[in-house]
Amino acid sequence: MPSFQRHVFVCVNERAPDNPKGCCKSRGGVEVRDTLKTELKKRGLAKLVRANNAGCLDQCEQGVTVVVYPEQVWYGHVTPADVVEIIEQHLVGGKPVTRLLLPDQPHLKGDLPALEITR
Ligand code: FES
């Protein structure tokens, strides 16, 4: 059984186009998730990091919303162009991507645990 060190949840929730809340799917959630899966595979990290679909994460105005567990790092306004930085800087390097962080995350102090990569 794979033992994932991280789960990256990407909101792909869809709402009707006339819904005032909008949704992450219309902002590119599926493309972010697909890019994440592709880039993890390319780097041989797909057995360590699981890219998960998520329903609404209740941060709709910040979408596309992404959250990394177990360290509970929340990102907003994520695009496919941001995915490599999240992988390299955060997941591999242990440093959150500051410019994408949602506000009010007082638990984020200093570096995060990096992936334990054995090849
Ligand atoms: S629709 Fe993505 S956080 Fe609500």
Tell the residue nearest (CA) to atom 1 of ligand 1. Answer: 23
Do 49 and 4 touch, CB atoms closer than 8 A?
yes
Enter the CATH code of domain 6-100: 3.40.30.10
Q: Give me ligand 1 centre to Cα 47, in Å.
A: 26
Pocket mutation for ligand 1, best pick of 59, 61, 64, 79 (most atoms within 8 Å of C-beta)? 59
Does the pLDDT at position 119 exceed 70? no
Does the pLDDT at position 113 exceed 90? no
11 CA closest ligand 1 atom index: 2
Q: Cα(44)–Cα(49) distance, rounded to whole angstroms?
A: 10
Q: Cα(79)–Cα(7) distance, rounded to whole angstroms?
A: 18
Higher pLDDT: 113 or 56? It is 56
pTM: 0.94
Instruction: Summarize pLDDT for 38-91 with one digit per residue, the tens.
Output: 999 999 999 999 999 999 999 999 999 999 999 999 999 999 999 999 999 999
CB of 63 shorter than 6 A to ligand 1: yes
Q: Cα(9)–Cα(99) distance, rounded to whole angstroms?
A: 18
Q: Cα(13)–Cα(108) distance, rounded to whole angstroms?
A: 26
CB of 91 shorter than 6 A to ligand 1: no
Pocket mutation for ligand 1, best pick of 23, 31, 33, 102 (most atoms within 8 Å of C-beta)? 23
Q: Cα(41)–Cα(38) distance, rounded to whole angstroms?
A: 5
**Beta-carbon-side half-sphere exposure of residue 51 (alpha carbons within 13 Å):** 20
pLDDT number for residue 76: 98
Q: Which candidate, 71, 79, 60, places its Cα nearest to that of 96?
A: 71
